[in-house]
Structure 1
Amino acid sequence: MTMNDIPVRDNGRLDISAVRRQQIIMASRKLVSTEGVGAVTIAQIAKVMGTSRGVVNHHFESKEEILRATLMSALKDASAATDQSVAAKDDIGEVTRLVVGLASSENDWWPVYIAFLAESASHQFARKMIQESDRGFRANLAKALGDEARAGVVLGLMKGLALQRVVDDTFDVDEAVAAAIQLLSRWQRVEV
């Protein structure tokens, strides 16, 4: 949370409830990024925060509500990191390199996204949220690349390359991105 993110009420006073909610979300993000969605329990969040379960329960009605807020928080950070940069590019290779690089970085939003992506195979709420976030990102890519289909291919490529980096820290992302750029540049020249 930055100084610009500190919630203040209309009367100028600090919104303690909003601060506490943000702390809960950040504790949940930490758990999801290091241990997976299944590790998120009210008790574990309270333990990470050094508080009681009652405090967590007071600010969120359910674990699912916390998980939704957790993913939305990670997606907001991912969007802030990528949307403006992606919109400014019109080359598939540059966009791919940018997003794979960001996903391969030390940001916690990528592991949170991956954990929810895995969870989406068996849980409708995660599937719906991933679909919404992917549609938004694909729309931004489509603006940059001029085509929804290309945006879908690039999104799939970026996810695949970034996932390979997550599971194999010896995977050479730069080499793979360079190869992808070569393939995509050939693809760009083909008229359908």
Structure 2
Amino acid sequence: MADGLGDAIPPTAVHLCVDMQRMFVEDTEWRAPWAERVMPVIVGLCEQAGERTCFTRFIPADRPGEGRGQWSAYWTRWAAMTRERLGDEMIDLARPLQRFVPPGWVLNKRVYSPWIGTDLDAILRRSGADTLIVTGAETDVCVLATVLGGVDLGYRMIVVTDGICSSADGPHDALLDLYHDRFALQVETAQSEEILAAWR
């Protein structure tokens, strides 16, 4: 798989940071061990374009068994991660990212995709954004839903390969191969250094 940008990144691009929250970074059942490794990359993008950064937050069910359809079983299985057990403070952004709001903004979502049940698309269109630079967690769950939803809506999607993380090496690597092999016209993958140089 080869990384690299196809074209320059426009100044109207938006950095979409997916679910880099305390519950994924700190000691919980959902801790993603790689999160600390990618955090400096995400901070660097925020420092360059904090006002063009949207942070998504995955909001758990209030209590076990809530949710539509299979989400009810999901929240029964992950009872320890419901709001009544976890506490709202763990839903907050990871501590190193909290200083970027404002100027960045937060979008809450109840499912993996940030496009369902939110006004994210409308906000981005009003800002003139047609390019999204994606970082965050996890590569094979919420990042995947974010990228494919953006493709469906016609955005140019750029995945920061050293700025996304998963709990498993295999699915992470497989997803990067998938973007390159199957979605090469709609999804670009590049290292943060190249992205920062191209987005001024």
TM-score, normalisation: structure 1 = 0.31
Larger Rg belongs to: 1
User: Which structure is richer in relative contact order (CA contacts within 8 A, separation 6 or more)?
Assistant: 2
TM-score, normalisation: structure 2 = 0.30
Structure with a larger share of its residues in helix:
1
Structure with a larger share of its residues in strand:
2
